[in-house]
Amino acid sequence: MATSYSAPGIMIVDINGYADNAYDMVIQPDGSVLVAGLSYHALDLDYGKDFSLAHLNTDGSVDSTYGNAGRLVIHKQIPIEKDYSLRVQTDGAVVAAHEGHDNTPIVQRWGPDGKADAVFNANAQASLSSGFGHAPIVEVNSDGSVLVGAVEGSTLRVTQLHADGTQDLSFGTNGVLTLQAPGTLQFVLGLTSLADGGILVQGAPNFHNSLLKYTAAGELDTHFGVNGIMEINNVGSYGGGVAVQDDGKILLSNTTSFDDFTVLRFNADGSPDVSFGNQGSVSINLPGDYAAGNAIAVQDDGKILLGGSAFANGGSDFAAVRLNADGSLDSTFGSTDGSTRLVGSSGSDVLEGLGSDEILRGLAGDDVLQGNLGRDLLSGGAGHDVFRYASVTDSFRTADSSDSDRILDFNPAEDRIDLSALGFTGIGNGYDGTLLIGNNADDSRTYLKSFEANADGQRFELVLDGNFAGQLDDSNLTLSTASVARSSVDSAALPGDLSAPEPVELTLIGTVDPHTYNVV
């Protein structure tokens, strides 16, 4: 399963149908975006983790020409318990670090084609000595060089590798810059090179989530924060991403409530930039149950890209959000027409809506589509698809409004509507637990209706494009009973409220010629 979920300003991409966590993103020269992270198979933890990437076009749509349907997986089968630091370069290569024997960092590069870079890897191995430090991290610079850092107590050692993996001996002292922190560094999560030769370090001296700024000479910059240290107290976790704007202002991505992406902006001296967002902070709620912002990048036009993970369709997926320079959500990214859509893959997918008015679109494969709350448009595509309803609130009408879903391409010979959770006893007149099936006046739509409302005045209603009133039976309609008799009710016997109070316009995309549908 490799689905994508888009909303204005937001794109969520499933890589392999299991758990995908994004840790870095980079803007390529053409303005497209690479998001990189780790994917693992939740049902087979012994398999381990793989490196994975997704490529987004400048408007946030998935680039179907990249890898496999816009995704690339580098199979590594890394043990689940093993920590890796991972970054992606502008050419699409992945650089990663992990701890080897005797506190020796192992730094490796995989090219844009997913193959190991033998030259870089051999040179990097020769450049990094034993005892360098533990918990190594990497950071890639715009010129192709790579920073490598490792911790020992309150000391952070940093070296720089050239693009070919050889050590840059002009960096620091004999190729190593030794940085002292005011306390034990429990961990270091990020390094950012500055234009003046200094380094921003994202770490936790004595468990205090902080940004530390060092000069090119390796000393704490006393003009930054408090004696070179800025504690970060108003985010939900350690980590996140750091980016520096051309004007020297610092952006930090994170989360505040674990269902959002948050970005903080600071002046060059570490003070909050109160002109940005809400006193220096912007939070964007993401769909689903969980979100974590781990990466950030700044476009040439000042727009801000946030990357991380969101639990939006049954698993953790890559997520990207784009903000305008002032922190407002950029509605030209993700879904550019204002619609929210969940699109499946060429395989068999389970597509579950997230509670708003959405477009769910299966492609090939035997898909399960469940719109959940909201007034949804559903299209199963090719294959034997199931349209599933778990509650009356998923598709209903009240006395004065309609929130009924609409299935655009139901095929009675292949597809099935599953209403088994709703308790209907059979086909009838819509009363006494039965479901009425009938057409509108011009036979262009089929309605499945109940006239018995729940405590909130909601009564089930589902709309199908096409005339299926004489074709729905136990082969394609599942109620709570073992069999379904065909309806003998014709359209003349239907009540006069089959149409919605007014149409709502949504657009179904993904075809050569998009069509606009009036949902009634």
Question: Tell me: the pLDDT tens digits for 4-47?
Answer: 999 999 999 999 767 899 999 999 999 999 999 999 876 676 78
**pLDDT (tens digit, 9 = 90+) per residue, 199-252?**
999 988 988 889 999 999 999 999 999 999 999 887 767 778 999 999 999 999
Where is 397: in which H helix or E strand? strand 396-397
- pLDDT, one tens digit per residue, over 46-78 is 788 899 999 999 999 999 999 999 999 998 888
Angle (nearest 5°) at CA 219 between 216 and 224: 90
Cα–Cα nearest to 203, from 133, 268, 302: 133
> What one-letter code names the amino acid at 226?
V
Quick one: tokens of 259? 């269902």
Question: For 304-317, what is the mean pLDDT?
Answer: 88
pLDDT tens figures, 419-475 = 999 999 999 999 999 999 999 999 999 999 999 999 999 999 999 999 998 899 999
Q: What secondary structure letter does DSSP report for 272?
A: B
Q: What is the mean pLDDT of residues 101-127?
A: 92
In the block, which residue shows the tokens 């679109």?
A: 361
Question: And the tokens for 397?
Answer: 């009408």
CA distance 369 to 377: 10
User: Which of the four CATH numbers 2.40.50.140, 2.30.42.10, 1.10.645.10, 2.150.10.10 does domain 342-478 have?
Assistant: 2.150.10.10
Looking at residues 313-319, what average pLDDT do you find?
Answer: 85
Q: Is the pLDDT of residue 97 over 80?
A: yes
Q: Is the dihedral of CA 200, 139, 144, 32 positive or negative?
A: negative
Pairing of strands 4-7, 10-13: antiparallel
Q: Enumerate the CATH 2.150.10.10 domain ranges in the chain, comma separated.
A: 342-478
The b/e string for 339-376 (b: 16+ C-beta within 10 A; e otherwise) is bbbbbbbebbbbbbbbeebbbbbbbebbbbbbbbbbbb
CA distances from 151 to 188, 212, 403 (A): 7, 14, 57
Both tokens assigned to 224: 């930054």
Distances (CA, A) of 377 to 138, 251, 388, 409: 45, 38, 13, 10
Least confidently predicted of 329-343, 370-384, 478-492: 478-492
Separation of alpha carbons 91 and 144, rounded Å = 9
Q: Model-level pTM?
A: 0.86
Segment 372-393 shows an average pLDDT of 96
Binning pLDDT at 50, 70 and 90, where does residue 502 land? Answer: very low
Q: How far apart are CA 282 and CA 265, in angstroms?
A: 9
Q: What angle do CA 297, 301, 302 make, to 5 degrees?
A: 50
pLDDT of 361 higher than 50:
yes
Q: Where along the chain do the CATH 2.120.10.30 domains lie?
A: 10-336
Instruction: Output the pLDDT for position 480.
Output: 75
Domain 10-336 has CATH 2.120.10.30: yes
